[in-house]
Amino acid sequence: YRPADVEAKIYRFWEEGHFFRASVGVVGSAPFSVVIPPPNITGRLHMGHALNNSLQDVVIRYRRMRGDETCWFPGTDHAGIATQNVVEKELAKAGTSRQELGREAFVERVWEWKAKYGSEIIDQLKALGCSCDWSRLRFTLDEGLSEAVRTVFVRLYEEDLIYRGAYLVNWCPRCGTAISDLEVEHEELDGALYHIRYPLEAGGHVTIATTRPETMLGDTAIAVNPADERFGHLVGTTARLPILDRVLPILGAEQVDPDFG
């Protein structure tokens, strides 16, 4: 048995027979729909996609065989900065960059990438036997979807559910933009632990351990564990911030680890 010799022929038979097309308004049928988590066009599908989509296909086919009004919406996702990065890596291999290409030429390269890998992804899903309604295939930058996103964004903004504020963000100096937590690669490094003496108002000092001494200028309080025999008695007193001479209250907090620092 050679799967490649027969599976494409069977799938083509399914498609030409419209077996996966959703029938709207069938009397007595319960609607059941799934929107495929759209794969990123950053490259070909991997084993995780195979597992995920196989499980969805099992459920979809089961509901379809029950007679439910079933629809599995397929699509692909532009992936934003992730796709930009893989295209930039390809440009680097060719000895050029997006800056050298210019904006318009670079965007054109990205669309070429989408055309290539978007099509390969669809072919891979079909090779898996996914019973999607391909007449409803979408890409997350299709004009209709983009308009819907803009419309909802504006409405949420007008309802004060989306607002601009000052927050800590992950900033990529190479990309020149903020990136999500999922796009941050973490690396463990050996570093120094600094011990800084903060003068107590009543005399003496309390030693603070920190890996980021530059943040001390923003200190507004000192936290100690009330159960710590060394410093628990300081709760309710005050100390002064070195350099700025700011008065800092000493607070009790059980979250402080007495064994660290």
Say if residue 120 is in the same domain as residue 199. Answer: no
Q: Which residue has the tokens 């969805």?
A: 56
228: tokens are: 């710590």
User: Does pLDDT of 260 surpass 90?
Assistant: no
Which domain CATH number covers 226?
A: 3.90.740.10
In-domain check, residue 27: yes
pLDDT of res. 255:
94
User: Does pLDDT of 46 surpass 80?
Assistant: yes
- The strand ranges marked E within the chain are 31-35, 69-73, 75-76, 138-139, 170-172, 177-179, 194-199, 205-210, 222-224, 238-241, 246-252
Provide the residue range defining the domain that includes 41: 3-159
For residues 136 and 73, the answer to whether their CB atoms sit within 8 Å is yes
Q: Which of 112, 132, 159 is the last residue of a domain?
A: 159
In-domain check, residue 171: no
From the list 245, 216, 250, 247, the residue with the least C-alpha distance to 231 is: 250
Rounded to whole angstroms, the Cα distance separating 128 from 193 reads 53
Share of the chain above pLDDT 70, in %: 99
Please give the model's pTM, rounded to 2 decimal places.
0.70
pLDDT of res. 174:
86
User: Does pLDDT of 261 surpass 70?
Assistant: no
Mean pLDDT of the chain: 93
